[in-house]
Amino acid sequence: MLPLALTMGDPAGIGGELTLRAWQARRHGVGCFVTLDDPERLRQLARDMRLDVPVMTVTAIDAVPATFRSALPVLPVLLAVPAQPGKPEAKNAAAVVASIERATDLAARGLAGAVVTNPINKAALYDAGFAYPGHTEFLAALTGAVGKQIMMLASPALRVVPVTVHASLRRSIDMITIDRIVAAARTTEAALRREFGIATPRLAIAGLNPHAGEQGALGDEETTIIGPAIEELRRAGMDVSGPWPPDTMFTATARARYDVAICMYHDQALIPLKTLDMTHGVNVTLGLPIVRTSPDHGTAYDIAGKGIADPSSLIAALDLAAQLAARRAAAVGVGRNL
């Protein structure tokens, strides 16, 4: 299994301490990874937090597996100025971006099994000229998959895919189309088959309006857009149900009837997932030529450097990345042998 490439994230956030604690969790089964970060920053953070984590600079990813057993391997990406917990610094934005670019390049060249991204602060990057709404769109641009990327949030309790993501609620409603729903569902269904190992994925399509529109009395998007999208997907042979009333589709009984919920907008998807299992939620980008996951939380400036950040979501992201990469590699191997 190839090592995973873990990005720096915002150096003023909790990413660094999560990385240190994730390496400590190797004794409990966390797979091999290399972080693209400033090694001195991590050493200082380990000292400040009294964490027994030796940090070892490596110059090539080939050295990572042997190093990982006894030290945290780091491919160096140097900061412009020392990081201060809780205080984002625009001068370090270039290093944050470079970490993502280098990790993506390693995965694209088949040297890393997957990319796992620590949380970034989009506003801090925007101030430095970053031209993308977030990680997902940037990774799509880096890998030549613009327009194909789909965001999935996954936990043991629930998987969700929002059809529209980083847009206001008002704009998101205008963005919902038959084609957009169909594209999201097709990409999701293919990923569930190939990377999640689900032979016949069951997709539940959420409605947009209260009670899924109440036959048009509370809105007609279900009959004019969502319903026709469902019929198109069914004609293609997919196991699709809906439109589901959004207020009842996330109960335990309802969740047992599907493998993923295709939701119409960001909060419709993320609120139930984070409510059910914030700790183990993982962000997965579907539709890319590489595997990418990330923790389902932000930079947490308010607790950065205090040693209390919970690494569970990052560990879950590393674990899931390894699983998805292994299944993708196996699927490619089968295809080559046909």
Query: Do residues 117 and 196 both lie within one domain?
Result: no
SS3 104: helix
Name the β-bridge partners of 209.
Answer: none
Across 222-270, where does the E strand assignment appear? 239-244, 260-263
User: Looking at the structure, do residues 108 and 157 belong to the same domain, yes or no?
Assistant: no
Q: 305, exposed or middle or buried, with CB in 10 Å at 0-12, 13-18, 19+? A: buried
Domain match, 28 and 99 both: yes
Same domain, 106 and 10: yes
Please report the pLDDT score of residue 337 as a whole number. Answer: 37
Same domain, 87 and 189: no
Looking at the structure, tell me whether residues 116 and 45 fall in a common domain. yes
Is 294 found in the same domain as 230?
no
Distance CA 310, CA 47 (A): 18
Task: Give the pLDDT score at 77.
Answer: 97
| Beta carbons within 8 Å of 102's beta carbon, 6+ residues apart | 5, 36, 75, 77
Of the residues 286, 304, 326, the one at which a domain ends: 286
Q: Are residues 250 and 337 in the same domain?
A: no
Domain count, the chain: 2
pTM: 0.91
pLDDT for 338: 34
> Do 274 and 308 have their domain in common?
no
Range of the structural domain that residue 175 is part of: 150-286
pLDDT at site 333:
59
- In the block, tokens 């890393």 appear at 112
Q: Are residues 294 and 259 in the same domain?
A: no
- Nearest-Å Rg of the Cα atoms of the chain is 20
Q: Name residues of the chain where pLDDT drops below 70.
A: 332-338
Angle made by CA atoms 182, 256, 231, in degrees to the nearest 5: 25
Same domain? 156 vs 129:
no
| 189-216 pLDDT, tens digit each | 999 999 999 999 999 999 999 998 788 8
Q: Are residues 84 and 156 in the same domain?
A: no
CATH of the domain at 200: 3.40.718.10
